[in-house]
Amino acid sequence: MNPLAQLIIYFTMTMGTFITSLSSHWFLAWAGLEMNMLAFTSVLIKKANSRSTEAATKYFLVQSTASMILMMAITYNNLFPGQWTMMNNLNQPSALIMMMALAMKLGMAPFHFWVPEVTQGTPLIPGLLLLTWQKLAPISIMYQMYSSINTSALLALSTLSIMAGSWGGLNQTQLRKILAYSSITHMGWMTMTLTYNPNITIFYLSMYIILTTTAFLALSLNSNTTTLMLSRTWNKLTWLMPLMSSTLLSMGGLPPLTGFLPKWITIQELTKNNNFIMPSIMVAMALLNLYFYLRLIYTTSMTLLPTSNNTKMKWQFENTKSMPLISTLIILTTFLLPLSPTTLTIF
């Protein structure tokens, strides 16, 4: 792709997200979502092959459908108060339809089927953008309209997302699909406390972005996309395997790693609001998540010994990608739990 065109595409994608996040007008927020969607569709078809084209087509169809539903809800809401500002309380039918449209954009259950397919059809870095950056704009809209969201409907969507992501990732061997189902689960955890304390949602989103970015960058060091490819990384990047294992365990929410902190705060907030059934379901599903992460770690790190290969092979002398950011991210992924007292005083 032409470097100038690539610069324009990424600039448009970034500006679309910022316009949506900083806007207090419904039309501008919707326009920012459209800018972001069209630019990211171009990112998905950066490599011209059938899989990328299929992934971009699926992404465009789902996102454009969600955008039409969102605009319909915005227009319907405008018929009653006659204002387009996001600060006004929404009428319940409009708020419910908007929430469904944003859930479709986020890939929450039962609108989640496109997420694993699109993630699997893209390279690792566009997949990282799909599961992190593309969540910012819809979450920012939900954050601004949280007071109008129906709590029962949101809890139902969140619970379905947690269950769908946990069960869906059990039989996967493709790493991108595993991370996609993990993203669906995290979306459920993230939105569970939106109507109770939206600041916890933003905190969970920041922790989720750190964890997912670390996992994708670690995989992209050696272009690993399957469990078999990851298991062969011992001979080339021996240091990466224990760090990748700790990252996956942190994504599963195992204490005392960083990933346990947002889950702990979420469960604590739910119990504060006398909601005890949801935390029980969430903890049970978290065990399923942790199970397929442990299975992935076992098959890739514990079934093969880190042996040296004495045969001179070309791939052993290829230059590996240099990513200085990965060391900082791995520290954040594993050692942020001691900050929990400070975090709890904030929330």
> How far is it, in rounded angstroms, from Cα 211 to Cα 247?
7
DSSP structure class, residue 2: -
pLDDT tens per residue, range 325-337: 777 888 888 888 7
| The pTM of the whole model exceeds 0.95 | no
Using an 8 Å Cβ cutoff, are 262 and 204 in contact?
yes
pLDDT above 80 (res 306): no
* Residue 282 belongs to domain spanning: 3-308+316-346
pLDDT tens per residue, range 102-139: 999 999 999 999 999 999 999 999 999 999 999 999 99
> How far is it, in rounded angstroms, from Cα 147 to Cα 110?
23
> How far is it, in rounded angstroms, from Cα 147 to Cα 89?
7
- Structural domain total, the chain: 1
- Read out DSSP for 168-190? HTTT--BHHHHHHHHHHHHHHHH
> How far is it, in rounded angstroms, from Cα 342 to Cα 46?
43
